[in-house]
């Protein structure tokens, strides 16, 4: 964290590039987590908290006088501006909390990074980084690793993010989209707040192209899957759209005829691909215990309990424009290893 410095009757904190375009009230919650939002708003109204515009030096080298700009709780902050707090208010109400928050945040991040730094999962994830730049990481998530913790889950990808940051540098990466625990494949991590916001905007505007590969098993011998097509079955009353291509017939990894598909989701509903395959194509994804329970084939080495029946769904490719370099397209592919379930 940057430091607060006193100049005359104000303590100032310059806005870092990573906090560019963050709302003032959210920035305060980041700096002072236990400070009530109502208190921040009242101090803004009393002009005890203000935003200072610091103009660049003139051609002659003279520094112009900084100027206060109109300030509201929802005002956007920009890199190079300064947040100014009345000195008496800062000393009596805010300074001790800021120092405590700074120390605890650093301690928590260090502890999380150190506790998992040598964990085999972290070491494996580091080898699975398929793309890296200053804004994004793209990781080939293994099957069976949840993206976020939840009920009954002690470890998830989110658990290991501080340790990953300790190896690759920079802030702790942020989760910006999801894959089911059972699904393997490409997952984007944002390396800072602006990257997270930019990727969320790409998702919302439909500019992230996703390709999945799946192996599906028809529920009956007479079920045929066309070479290509589109599925528009709504999910939970909301529009859902999936394009698909049949790439080959598979006869070697399951006890009955299956098909390998490429799936191109045009929307992002929960379990969309699994539902569309099971309910429209009448061919649940191999290993799907929720939507294809009645049609689960047994693996050939069923007697070996070490080989679980896994979901054969893999996020194979991600393509999206680089929001920080509009003429650049980020195109990442990963290897499909689903057939290893039945060696």
By DSSP bridging, strand 5-7 and strand 10-14 are antiparallel
Q: Are 157 and 111 in contact (CB under 8 A)?
A: no
Per DSSP, 90 falls in state: I
Phi, psi dihedrals of residue 85, rounded to the nearest 5° = -125, 135
Say if CB 186 and CB 332 are below 8 A apart. yes
Q: Could you tell me which residues come within 8 angstroms of residue 217 by beta carbon, excluding any fewer than 6 positions away?
A: 254, 256, 258, 283, 284, 286, 292, 295, 297
What values do phi and psi take at 271, rounded to 5?
A: 60, 25
Provide the angle, in degrees to the nearest 10, between the axes of the packed helices 37-45 and 24-31: 120
Q: Which residue bears the tokens 């990257």?
A: 195
> Would you list the DSSP string of 190-225?
ESSHHHHHHHHHHHHTT--EEEEEEEE--SSTT---
Catalytic residue among 108, 118, 119, 180: 180
CA–CA gap between residue 10 and residue 90 (Å, rounded): 9
180 is an active site residue: yes
CA atoms within 13 A on the CB side of 127: 5
- Active-site annotation, residues: 180
């Amino acid at each position: 964290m940057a430091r607060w410095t006193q100049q005359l009757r104000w303590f100032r904190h310059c806005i870092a590039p990573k906090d560019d375009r963050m709302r003032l009230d959210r920035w305060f919650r980041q700096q002072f987590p236990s400070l009530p939002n109502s208190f921040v708003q009242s101090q803004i109204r009393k002009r005890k908290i203000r935003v200072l515009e610091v103009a660049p030096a003139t051609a002659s080298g003279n520094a112009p006088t900084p100027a206060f700009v109109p300030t509201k709780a929802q005002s956007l902050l920009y890199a190079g501006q300064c947040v100014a707090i009345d000195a008496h208010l800062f000393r009596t109400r805010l300074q001790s909390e800021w120092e405590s928050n700074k120390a605890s945040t650093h301690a928590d991040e260090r502890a999380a990074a150190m506790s998992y730094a040598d964990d085999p999962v972290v070491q494996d994830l580091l080898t699975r980084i398929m793309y890296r730049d200053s804004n994004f990481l793209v990781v080939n998530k293994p099957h069976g690793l949840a993206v976020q913790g939840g009920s009954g889950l002690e470890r998830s990808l989110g658990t290991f993010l501080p340790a990953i940051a300790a190896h690759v540098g920079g802030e702790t990466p942020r989760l910006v989209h999801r894959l089911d625990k059972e699904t393997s494949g490409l997952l984007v991590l944002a390396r800072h707040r602006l990257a997270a916001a930019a990727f969320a905007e790409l998702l919302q505007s439909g500019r992230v192209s996703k390709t999945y590969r799946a192996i599906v098993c028809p529920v009956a011998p007479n079920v045929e899957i066309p070479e290509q097509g589109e599925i528009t079955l709504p999910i939970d009353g909301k529009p859902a759209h999936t394009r698909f291509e049949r790439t080959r017939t598979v006869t070697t990894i399951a006890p009955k005829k299956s098909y390998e598909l490429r799936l191109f989701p045009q929307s992002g509903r929960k379990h969309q691909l699994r539902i569309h395959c099971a309910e429209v194509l009448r061919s649940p994804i191999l290993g799907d215990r929720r939507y294809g329970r009645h049609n689960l084939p047994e693996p050939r080495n069923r007697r070996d309990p070490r080989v679980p029946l896994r979901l054969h769904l893999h996020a194979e490719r991600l393509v999206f424009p680089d929001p920080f370099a509009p003429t650049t397209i980020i195109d990442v592919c990963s290897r499909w290893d689903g057939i290893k379930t039945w060696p």
